[in-house]
């Protein structure tokens, strides 16, 4: 078969990834990607500058925090943060926050 007769359709990589992820990840996980969009508004500017969501699984959100003193402070605010996050997500999804020192990407 020569190249002129060979017709191939190009597929964008994002379409392939979305299709693959849709097969292997539960719908709830895909929906939880919204948490990165609502984080700053749900927790406030000061916290958002020092803490960012990292991973989410089975209702537990792992949060990267800039320092151990921030981890200590956020443990006191955990319940309020969970309420605000779930309110912004419009349903109860986040059940627990776990804090660890990590990179804070904006």
- pLDDT tens-digit map of 5-44: 555 678 777 677 666 666 655 555 555 678 988 999 999 9
Both tokens assigned to 36: 């990165």
Contact (Cβ atoms closer than 8 angstroms) between residue 46 and residue 34: no
Tokens 């392939």 belong to: 16
Sketch out the chain's domains with CATH numbers.
27-101 (3.30.300.180)
pLDDT tens digits, residue range 49-87?
999 999 888 899 999 999 999 999 999 999 999 999 999
74: nearest Cα among 104, 41, 51, 105: 51
> Within 13 Å of residue 1, how many CA atoms lie on the same side as its CB?
6
The model carries a pTM of 0.70
């Amino acid at each position: 078969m020569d190249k002129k007769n060979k017709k191939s359709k190009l597929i964008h990589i994002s379409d392939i990834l979305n299709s693959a992820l849709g097969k292997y990840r539960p719908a709830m996980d895909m929906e939880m990607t919204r948490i990165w969009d609502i984080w700053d508004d749900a927790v406030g500017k000061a916290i958002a500058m020092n803490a960012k969501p990292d991973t989410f699984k089975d209702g537990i959100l792992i949060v990267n925090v800039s320092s151990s003193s921030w981890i200590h402070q956020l443990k006191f605010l955990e319940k309020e943060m969970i309420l605000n996050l779930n309110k912004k997500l419009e349903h109860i999804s986040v059940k627990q926050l776990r804090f660890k020192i990590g990179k804070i990407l904006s």
